[in-house]
Amino acid sequence: MQKLKVEDLRGLELLLSTIELGSISAAARRHFLSQPAATAQLQNLETRLGVPLLERGALGSSPTAAGTALAAWAREITVATERFAAGVEALREGAEPHLRVAASLTIAEYLLPVWLIECRQPRKDWAVDLEVANSVVVADRVASKAVDIGFVESPRHFEDLTSEVIGHDELIVVVGRSHPWTRRSTALTAERLASAPLLLRELGSGTREFFDDALVRKGLPPVQPHGVLGSTSALKAAVAGGTACTVLSELAVAGEIATGRLVRIAVDGIDLKRTLRAVWYGPTPPKAALSLLAVARAYAEAATTS
């Protein structure tokens, strides 16, 4: 096998995208390449490494055993490379970058603080402006270039923005301790859940959009909520003290479930697992966001392998 060169890093990034998205054509679009150009890069990488990396079929591409092993190592390389690039850029500019971030509520409250602390530790003067809003507003802020990077929970495609999965989450149904559902011996059906007096976030919230999409995929109409509240904290308080129920991120209610203030209700027949994404304007992330994006990727990878 020949030694890896700098251009092989692009091939590794393309390989990771192909495995994540399931096809070379989808990976090519993410990297703003034609499909023939992407195929050529991957074939060149296979030739240089001396092992087949992908099995190509009518329904897409899947990794070989060697491709799966290489992908794990490649993620470590790409994260390290991005951190290196971010550090070099900071030195070139002569100052630590000023980063403008917008994030949807769940990510802003339960994930982003840890990421920012890790980024800040070796860079004491690093300045960050953080805006918290629902996913639609976050995407608008990124598209208007008012912020450098955004983090969203919504499943929708945002035109002109590039996105990348940086984590996974699951929506769960929760009620207060006195709710009749806490005495159920069987799981709820999706139909029963959709007809319940639900309290939900506002339209434009990533949590609300994902829940509505999950119902539509099940053949049910988007729910008409019993009430709409603009924050996760308000929903948790309202449900804990009443007979309504809500659907929230597992990350957001872990503490209340652990203390017994809220109770998780099992649901069958509906998939509420979702992805969390970073979004930015243009084909590549802004330089000021590279370090943060690398940390988010590293945490996502650690969660996947743990």
Is residue 204 in some structural domain?
A: yes
Q: Which of 52, 78, 94 is the last residue of a domain?
A: 94
Q: Which two three-digit tokens encode residue 77?
A: 């390389």
- Is residue 108 situated within a structural domain? no
Q: Picking from 29-38, 144-153, 154-163, 276-285, which range would have the lowest pLDDT averaged per residue?
A: 29-38
| Residue 76 clears pLDDT 80, i.e. is over it | no
Q: How many domains in the chain?
A: 2
148 within some domain: no
Overall average pLDDT of the 51-71 stretch = 83
- pLDDT value of position 90: 52
- pLDDT at position 94: 45
Confidence of residue 287 (pLDDT cuts 50, 70, 90): confident
Q: Confidence class of residue 79 from pLDDT cuts 50, 70 and 90?
A: low
- What pLDDT is stored for residue 125 in this prediction? 63
| Closest residue by Cα to residue 146 from 283, 3, 281 | 281
238: CATH: 3.40.190.290
Span 179-194, pLDDT tens digits: 999 999 999 999 999 9
pLDDT value of position 124:
60
**Residues pairing with 273 in the sheet:** 170
- The CA distance from 232 to 276, in Å, is 17
Q: Are residues 90 and 172 in the same domain?
A: no
Out of 9-23, 257-271, 276-290, pick the least confident: 9-23
* 31 domain residue, yes or no: yes
Q: Burial of 106 by CB count in 10 Å (0-12 exposed, 13-18 middle, 19+ buried)?
A: buried
Domain extent at residue 223? 168-274
Smallest CA-to-CA distance from 265 within 160, 201, 192 is with 192
Which of 42, 59, 94 terminates a domain? The answer is: 94
Kindly state whether residue 131 falls inside one of the protein's structural domains.
no
For the cut 70, the answer to whether the pLDDT of residue 143 exceeds it is yes
Residue percentage of the chain with pLDDT more than 70: 88
Decide if 169 contacts 151 (C-beta within 8 A). Answer: no
Instruction: For residue 133, give the 3-state DSSP assignment.
Output: coil
pLDDT-derived band at 127 (thresholds 50, 70, 90) equals confident
Q: Of the residues 94, 122, 144, which one is the last residue of a structural domain?
A: 94
Q: In this structure, what CATH number is given to the domain that contains residue 14? A: 1.10.10.10
287 against 123, higher pLDDT = 287
Q: Tell me, what's the pLDDT at 1?
A: 47
Q: Is residue 283 part of a domain?
A: no
Strands (E), 88-158: 98-103, 127-132, 149-152
Decide if 284 is inside a domain. no
Q: Is residue 257, in this structure, part of any structural domain at all?
A: yes
